[in-house]
């Protein structure tokens, strides 16, 4: 750590999610990191949007002057601090405008609210690695969180994997690091980064799909990132595609896309079909040329994914589908048949190109740095 290096791009698992299945009552929401959660009136109030936040700011929320300071693009000589918090580990970097990494670190994510102290400590560690002159140039930070996040009022609403609920982050990082700090949802930022600065940068309408243990992503239409009123982006993994005979999903529904097409689902399906335990979907893809069972499992996964995406394509007509996460490592063995299968399902709208993401496993960290530098997901 502390040695400058180029922020390279690799295609590895982006740290997707999903614990084991459990039933969810009707009306429940789904934690973007995986487990089901009923959105209480209080949680929905937390995530009601900018108007509500401006109407009444709760104790511990970032001060208006801090939020204002966080909203503008930074000068080229500024440095930024980015943290990408996952269910098991959190990663951080300090980078310059060219993406050169000046300090980096990884630490375990402790359960519950202790995770926020670990985030603060990781930021402290990275800042301590800089020279005094470099430290003075760190102008803003971005912290990306899993789960349900109220980015307007700086509240970590819920994460099942880490185990927090309704944590008012407020100005704890602002005061600790003495700089403006942006709080956002991890998938929202990773998808935005791929759209604006990665594989989708030449397109206005892009669907980014993160394929790993679970499936999620973002949708940009006409140059705008589509988000719900309370900040969620694309829960593509929970589009039901196998109603009659599908498996129960962790969200409580039957036959969701990720029960067939996620990395974990592919590995499980191959084991059920052959009686041979396999560690990952990558092992199944490696057998495509020689094992008919592997081909059948992958074909079914691609069919389910195409079924799920076809509704999005008909509704929004994206020009491009960008695949990220661990399954993107399959390369053309995934992108080419997925494009063919999608095209077979479409009659009234053109089939979008299907490409691999450019940031790979670094989408979160790269996105955090870009978000901190530009000040908004715009």
Per-position DSSP letters for 349-374, written without gaps between them: SPPPEEEE-SSBTTHHHHHHHHHHHH
Together in a domain, 175 and 218? no
Query: Has residue 196 been placed in a domain?
Result: no
Closest CA to 354 of 251, 211, 257, 249: 211
Together in a domain, 368 and 310? no
pLDDT confidence of residue 160:
74
Query: Has residue 143 been placed in a domain?
Result: yes
What is the per-residue pLDDT across 31-41, written as a single tens digit (0 to 9) for each? 333 333 344 43
Together in a domain, 305 and 346? yes
What CATH number does residue 88 fall under?
Answer: 3.30.420.40
Together in a domain, 226 and 143? no
What is the per-residue pLDDT across 88-121, written as a single tens digit (0 to 9) for each? 899 999 999 999 999 999 999 999 999 999 999 9
Mean pLDDT of 299-323: 96
Together in a domain, 273 and 140? no
Is residue 18 within 8 Å of residue 262, measured between CB atoms? yes
Mean pLDDT of 74-82: 97
Together in a domain, 158 and 222? no
Query: Has residue 127 been placed in a domain?
Result: yes
Together in a domain, 213 and 297? yes
Query: Has residue 104 been placed in a domain?
Result: yes
Query: Has residue 221 been placed in a domain?
Result: yes
Together in a domain, 256 and 285? yes
**What is the Cα–Cα distance from 348 to 220, expressed in whole angstroms?**
20
70 band by pLDDT with thresholds 50, 70 and 90: low
pTM of the model: 0.77
Q: Which domain holds residue 325?
A: 202-356
- Domain tally, the chain: 2
Together in a domain, 184 and 209? no
Together in a domain, 143 and 234? no
Together in a domain, 243 and 181? no
Together in a domain, 230 and 343? yes
What is the per-residue pLDDT across 236-258, written as a single tens digit (0 to 9) for each? 999 999 988 899 988 889 999 99
Query: Has residue 300 been placed in a domain?
Result: yes
Query: Has residue 28 been placed in a domain?
Result: yes
Query: Has residue 197 been placed in a domain?
Result: no
Helices (H), the chain: 41-46, 50-55, 64-69, 114-128, 132-137, 172-177, 186-197, 258-261, 263-274, 281-286, 292-316, 332-345, 363-374
């Amino acid at each position: 750590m502390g040695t400058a290096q180029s922020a390279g791009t690799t295609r590895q698992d982006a740290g997707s999610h999903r614990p084991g299945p459990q039933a969810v009552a009707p009306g429940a929401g789904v934690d973007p990191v995986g487990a089901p959660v009923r959105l209480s009136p209080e949680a929905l109030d937390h995530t009601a949007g900018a108007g509500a936040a401006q109407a009444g700011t709760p104790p511990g929320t970032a001060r208006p002057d801090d939020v204002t300071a966080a909203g503008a693009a930074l000068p080229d000589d500024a440095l930024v601090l980015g943290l990408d918090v996952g269910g098991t580990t959190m990663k951080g970097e300090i980078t310059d405008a060219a993406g050169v990494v000046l300090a980096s670190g990884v630490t375990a994510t402790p359960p519950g609210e202790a995770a926020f102290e670990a985030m603060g400590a990781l930021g402290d560690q990275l800042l301590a690695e800089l020279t005094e002159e470099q430290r003075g140039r760190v102008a803003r930070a971005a912290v990306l969180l899993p789960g349900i996040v109220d980015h307007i009022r700086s509240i970590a609403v819920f994460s099942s994997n880490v185990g927090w609920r309704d944590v008012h982050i407020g100005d704890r990082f602002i005061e600790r690091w003495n700089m403006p700090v942006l709080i956002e949802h991890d998938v929202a930022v990773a998808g935005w980064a791929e759209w604006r600065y990665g594989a989708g940068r030449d397109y206005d309408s892009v669907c980014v799909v993160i394929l790993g243990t679970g499936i999620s992503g973002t949708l940009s239409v006409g140059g705008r990132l589509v988000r719900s009123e309370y900040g969620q982006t694309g829960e593509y993994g929970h589009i039901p595609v196998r109603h009659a005979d599908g498996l129960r999903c962790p969200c409580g529904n039957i036959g969701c896309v990720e029960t067939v097409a996620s990395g974990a689902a592919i590995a499980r399906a191959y084991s059920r079909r052959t009686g041979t335990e396999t560690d990952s979907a990558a092992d199944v893809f490696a057998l495509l040329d020689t094992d008919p069972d592997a081909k059948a499992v992958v074909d079914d996964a691609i069919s389910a994914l195409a079924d799920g995406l076809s509704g999005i394509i008909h509704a929004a007509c994206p020009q491009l589908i960008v695949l990220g996460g661990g399954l993107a490592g399959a390369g053309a063995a995934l992108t080419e048949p997925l494009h063919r299968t999608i095209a077979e399902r479409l009659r009234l709208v053109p089939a979008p190109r299907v490409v691999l993401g450019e940031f790979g496993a670094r989408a979160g960290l790269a996105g955090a740095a870009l978000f901190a530098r530009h000040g908004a997901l715009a």
